[in-house]
Structure 1
Amino acid sequence: MLYMPLKIFLFLIGFWLLSTSQLYSQSLSLSAKGKTENETKIIDSLYYIKNFEDFASLEKEVIDIKEKLLKLGYIESGLLSIEKKNDSSYIASYHLNHYYKTIKIYFGPSINRNILKLVSNTVKENYFETDFNTLEKTLQLLNSEISNQGDPFSTLQLSNIKKENEGTLYAELQITEQPQRTIDTIIIKGYDKFPKSYVKRYLKIRNKQLFNLKTIKEKMSDLEDLQFASQIKEPEVLFTKDSTLLYIYVEKTKSNAFDGFLGFGTNTETNKIEFDGYLNLNLVNNLNYGESFRLLYKSDESQQKTFDVKAKLPYLLGSPIGVELSLNIFKKDSSFVTVSQSGKLDYIISPKNSVSAGILSTTSTNLLDNNILSINDYKSSFYTLNYLHTKRQRYNLLFPINFQFDITTGFGNRTFDDIKESQNSLAINSFKIFNLNDSNSIFTQITSGYLKSDTYLENELLRFGGINSIRGFEENSLTANLFGVINTEYRYKVSNNLYIHSVIDAAYYENELFDKKGKLFGFGFGFGLLTKAGLFKLNYSSGKTENQSFKISDSKIHISLIAKF
């Protein structure tokens, strides 16, 4: 009965004795001194540790102070003594001797002088100068740069170190070199069917290329701009006796997209609700060649129908050139139908930039029984030139593209009634997201088009308006030979999968055929919700002309869903 209370009592006594011993134990202190007051100030500037739990830690700090003085430039400094002042304090005495601020390093003809300019502002014919206190970092940087030149096993050392004059040292740089390394084999892990042409052309990593791990890592970061793949981890290298194996770790990402919207509004003539919408299917890299295929079908309340198909194959047959083919059919109620075909050759300058050149051929047919002067059969052909710049923000699921600039210009001719006219065209589509902070951003977009001709036909004019143009107006209900649209949104991200935004749009257009010009405005609000099915968006907007007031009855509600798979 007494055994358990006795055991607890002994445990409490032991715990009390241990606590008491720790309470009354004293820490050790260190004071470092120089031979002069100035030397002591220099030692104090090292901010050394002064309090220790045991003598071994104190002794280690005494040695560390000596090492710091050496790296600072006092290479002749020395520890004179460690004296015990009392039971808990010690004094370490040092003599600093001469201070060497600069070291002059002589090098041989095998050293690339351009590399030396990275570490020194004074590079002469056979030597360079550097501050002694940065000598270690200088040698590390030199070794890293030499490794990047294809010699990862090179070593550097200084020899024949001498005193040249007061404050300056002399040394000779010796390099132990190995044969330069080149990439012999590239092995892809994670996504084994990653297109080989993208390794060679997009990332610009090739066999027999001089090995440079720093450059390889920089190139791999370009995968962030690729739609269908991402980097899992940084590349790794395996060196064997006579070969260099580069391992690249990538994974395939969801890049197919299905986009559609449903819009409805009240017809001012019939006072009935009318619906419009479209389907947009984008397939990317399903054949593991980096190819893309787009199919769009649109039908709106103005009895307009659009069918558009586009196929793109980059790096054709492993070359830096890609090809893009497209077909567009537009039908305006029973007025006319226009068929456009184009073929382009595409060259990817870098992951963010590409240019293309091609031919656009268009045929339009008048479907009306009676002849209307503004609508006529015609054929046209254009030579086009395009430049595209895209900057992505991969880790933002709601807004994956931060900036895009797309410009296309063309020149050619149009023929109708045996009359041939020269024409020029210009189209610009650019947008930018200004991220104010994690929750707030401003979206701005500029869309413009211009067709220059001596005369115009109604069925060749540029069409705009709707959810992808100026909001609050019917889809493609506006025609012009010149127009410009500015879309703005203030976006507030409620969470990582929900945001709300404003709608403020403005446009200017000119229609020389009907001698019309004017300003248009659109206002409204909307939200976007990222669901398991995709990105669901809803916009409510109302449009007006320059001399017209807003009418709620003319407002448009647009609903869309973008699903990735």
Structure 2
Amino acid sequence: MNRVVYWIVAFCLLYCGSANGQLVYQLTSKGNEKEAQSVHFFSKDSLDQKIESLIRESHSQGFLNAGFFKKSNGDTLIYEFVQGDRFSWESILIKGDSANWGKLGTPSHDYEGPYQWVENWLIEQEKNGYPFASGKIDSIQVKGQSLSGKIELQLGPLIIWDSVEVRGDTKTDKNYLQRFSKITLGGPFSQAEFDQAVRRLSSNPYVQIQNNPEIQFRTRQAVPVFFLKDRRVNVFDGIVGFLPNANQPGKMLVTGQLDLRLAHLGGKGRDFGINWQKLNVQSQSLDLSAKESYLLGSPLELEFGFNLFKQDSTFVNRKLDLNFSLEIASGQSISFFTQRKAGDLISIPNNGTQSEFNDFLDYRWNTYGIGWKWDKLEPGSFSRKGGRIEVHASMGNKRLLENTGLSPDRYENLEMSSPQWLIEGKGERNFYINPLYGIWVNFSAGHLQNTNLFANELFRLGGLKTIRGFNESFFFAKSYGYINLEHRLFIDSSSYLVFLTDAGIITNPFANPKTDQVLSLGAGINLDTPGGMFSFVLAMGKSASQPLSITYSRVHFGYLARF
């Protein structure tokens, strides 16, 4: 019993001693516009920070006599904060720069009004060639709670932009950089213009900022200096195969794929690309593309494209594109283009009555169109954030050409010349959930309209870049809409496991049924290696002509070497 009493007494003494040794700080604030409030602190540093913040805020609002009184109450030290009276400006005169300051109006009579006015004036001068402008409030007089004084303004020397300098591990031409940055050489210096140039460069597809950009001032001139490093945006991918040629015994058949994309040639934003595929005996495709940025020093961008597609021994299509685009806002551009499309039958039986040629005819289609693009994808070869939308529409006159290998009856009741229009759009969005998980969503749709449509002019879908789980160009489509959904589990910043779902609706007037609902499921991996990107996807597709079965699964793989 005595031992229990002893421990109880010891505990009470220890608790009371520690409680008496703990000094508590109480801050009570009383203002003219705020109700009284009380806050307790157990740290002197926290109290000092709060008092300093209150005094700074009160002074900025015109309570120039704000302060505190200290008193004690037992183990509590009480700080009573008092704002006091609020000061305002009775009169304020402005001297200097009479030609420009009038655009800002006159300062308000609140205490912070003249100070905010001077700050706004300095910002305006930084935008218009006077980075060394200065302004101060002088000759302040106090009468009660009323203030009077004058603002003295000095512009300083006029500074103009000189040539842009490029430094770092880059081949970027300074003329290209100047046009991309939108800095006006010979124009007045603008800090806002420089800040905007830095933001634009951070999204450039060819280069990345290596060190913080600088501004060097030299005898009334400003020289922007950018430290850049080229991105690895050039791509090469090639596979070549040799197979026995069943049609020509003793000879070999060359099959394969070549994908070469060269970017930023000469450091001037010039691109060139070639893609060739021959994955079976008689079908092959060829794509050529070229781009010239800032055509002849103008803000226009010129793109040229050529496509050739040969479908076994049935038909061959050619397409020639010429596209002019103009940036209208950050990440937005409009384009005007013209296309010439041509389709020709290859081999026709002598009797010209084979039913399989009823869906194909020779045609020529000249079209003109307009497009719009919004691109806010994260820059670089792989994006985890941002999105992009592209839409274009075109219209033109299509002519049918009579093929002497076909019966004249084939052209009865057909309009040999008719208007035809097309619209296509696509959008993608990256959802950054956390460093280990993200979602990628892509949607594409298109429609082709004419009273006389034929299979060899329809859209072609299927394969790695459209609907996976099917062979390349498996589907013919007059109208289509599909969505790609990927769940990505990241191994590092740009390598990930992927679980995918593709679903869509395809309309083909020459198929049975005419409307097909397609679905594909799959999984794969993308590995970002020092040499490039390796991708492997296994997908199963379901359509009206293909059941959802592992037997019909497709393997899509590729390796893009970047340099």
TM-score strictly above 0.5: yes
Query: Which position in structure 1 is the counterpart of 2:394?
Result: 410
The SS at the match of 2:491 is: strand
CA shift at 1:70, angstroms?
A: 6.1
Matching residue's letter, 1:369: I
Structure 1: stretches of 5+ with no match in the other structure: 1-28, 53-57, 117-124, 264-274
What's the TM-score once normalised by structure 1's chain length? 0.76
Query: Which position in structure 2 is the counterpart of 1:382?
Result: 367
CA shift at 1:549, angstroms?
A: 4.7
Query: Which position in structure 1 is the counterpart of 2:108?
Result: 128
The SS at the match of 2:434 is: coil
CA shift at 1:141, angstroms?
A: 5.3
| C-alpha distance after superposition, 1:366-392 (max 9, x if no partner) | 112224221222211111222222223
Alignment pair present for 1:490 and 2:487: yes
The SS at the match of 2:176 is: helix
Which among 265, 277, 292 is matched to residue 271 of structure 2? 292
Query: Which position in structure 1 is the counterpart of 2:197?
Result: 219
Which among 301, 304, 310 is matched to residue 325 of structure 1? 304
The SS at the match of 2:228 is: strand
Matching residue's letter, 2:490: K
CA distance in 2, matches of 1:130, 1:38: 18
Which among 426, 429, 436 is matched to residue 429 of structure 1? 426
CA distance in 1, matches of 2:26, 2:348: 105
Matching residue's letter, 1:492: L
Q: CA 1:47–1:217 in structure 2 vs 1: closer, same or farther (change >3 Å)?
A: farther
Matching residue's letter, 1:383: Y
| C-alpha distance after superposition, 1:122-159 (max 9, x if no partner) | xxx64423344x87676555434433332122221112
Query: Which position in structure 2 is the counterpart of 1:18?
Result: none
CA distance in 1, matches of 2:445, 2:189: 46
CA shift at 1:501, angstroms?
A: 1.4
Query: Which position in structure 2 is the counterpart of 1:526?
Result: 524
CA distance in 1, matches of 2:176, 2:230: 13
| C-alpha distance after superposition, 1:93-136 (max 9, x if no partner) | 9999754266764436445466x5xxxxxxxx64423344x876
Matching residue's letter, 1:484: G
Alignment pair present for 1:450 and 2:447: yes
* Aligned residues of 1:541 and 1:557 also touching (Cα < 8 A): yes
Query: Which position in structure 2 is the counterpart of 1:5?
Result: none
CA shift at 1:470, angstroms?
A: 1.1
- Map 1:228-377; keep pairs closer than 5 Å: 228-259=206-237, 278-300=257-279, 303-350=282-329, 352-370=331-349, 371=352, 372-377=357-362
- Map 1:76-87; keep pairs closer than 5 Å: none
Query: Which position in structure 1 is the counterpart of 2:186?
Result: 208
* Aligned residues of 1:455 and 1:513 also touching (Cα < 8 A): no
Structure 1 residues 410-419 or 239-248, which shifts more?
239-248
| C-alpha distance after superposition, 1:470-525 (max 9, x if no partner) | 11111101101111111111111132343111111111011123461121111111
* Aligned residues of 2:272 and 2:290 also touching (Cα < 8 A): yes
* Aligned residues of 2:384 and 2:432 also touching (Cα < 8 A): no
- Map 1:94-243; keep pairs closer than 5 Å: 98-100=85-87, 105-107=92-94, 109-112=98-101, 116=104, 126-132=106-112, 139-140=118-119, 142-163=121-142, 167-190=145-168, 193-243=171-221
Matching residue's letter, 1:320: P
The SS at the match of 1:436 is: strand
* Aligned residues of 1:224 and 1:392 also touching (Cα < 8 A): no
Structure 1 residues 450-459 or 318-327, which shifts more?
318-327
The SS at the match of 1:214 is: helix
CA distance in 2, matches of 1:137, 1:534: 53
* Aligned residues of 2:546 and 2:552 also touching (Cα < 8 A): no
The SS at the match of 1:378 is: strand
Structure 1 residues 542-551 or 474-483, which shifts more?
542-551
- Map 1:531-550; keep pairs closer than 5 Å: 531-545=529-543, 549-550=547-548
Matching residue's letter, 1:494: I
* Aligned residues of 1:261 and 1:559 also touching (Cα < 8 A): no
| C-alpha distance after superposition, 1:399-419 (max 9, x if no partner) | 367322122211112211461
Matching residue's letter, 1:472: G
Structure 2: stretches of 5+ with no match in the other structure: 1-22, 242-253, 403-415
Q: CA 1:339–1:51 in structure 2 vs 1: closer, same or farther (change >3 Å)?
A: closer
Matching residue's letter, 2:548: F
* Aligned residues of 1:464 and 1:470 also touching (Cα < 8 A): yes
* Aligned residues of 2:87 and 2:147 also touching (Cα < 8 A): yes
CA distance in 1, matches of 2:31, 2:122: 36
* Aligned residues of 1:77 and 1:95 also touching (Cα < 8 A): yes
Q: CA 1:298–1:157 in structure 2 vs 1: closer, same or farther (change >3 Å)?
A: same
The number of equivalent residue pairs is 499
* Aligned residues of 1:323 and 1:343 also touching (Cα < 8 A): yes
CA shift at 1:429, angstroms?
A: 2.4
* Aligned residues of 2:276 and 2:286 also touching (Cα < 8 A): yes
CA shift at 1:328, angstroms?
A: 0.7
What's the TM-score once normalised by structure 2's chain length? 0.76
* Aligned residues of 2:101 and 2:121 also touching (Cα < 8 A): no
CA distance in 1, matches of 2:52, 2:555: 76
Matching residue's letter, 1:557: V
CA distance in 2, matches of 1:498, 1:405: 25
CA distance in 1, matches of 2:140, 2:38: 27
| C-alpha distance after superposition, 1:158-192 (max 9, x if no partner) | 1232346x644233222122233221332222267
CA distance in 2, matches of 1:476, 1:406: 22
CA shift at 1:351, angstroms?
A: 5.0
CA shift at 1:204, angstroms?
A: 0.6
CA distance in 2, matches of 1:47, 1:188: 57
Matching residue's letter, 1:411: M
Structure 1 residues 320-329 or 343-352, which shifts more?
343-352
Q: CA 1:485–1:494 in structure 2 vs 1: closer, same or farther (change >3 Å)?
A: same
| C-alpha distance after superposition, 1:235-266 (max 9, x if no partner) | 32222343333322222222201246899xxx
CA distance in 2, matches of 1:216, 1:67: 32
Q: Which structure would you say has the larger RCO, counting Cα contacts within 8 Å and 6 or more residues apart? A: 1
Matching residue's letter, 1:413: N
Query: Which position in structure 2 is the counterpart of 1:392?
Result: 377
* Aligned residues of 2:523 and 2:537 also touching (Cα < 8 A): yes
Query: Which position in structure 2 is the counterpart of 1:512?
Result: 509
Query: Which position in structure 2 is the counterpart of 1:6?
Result: none
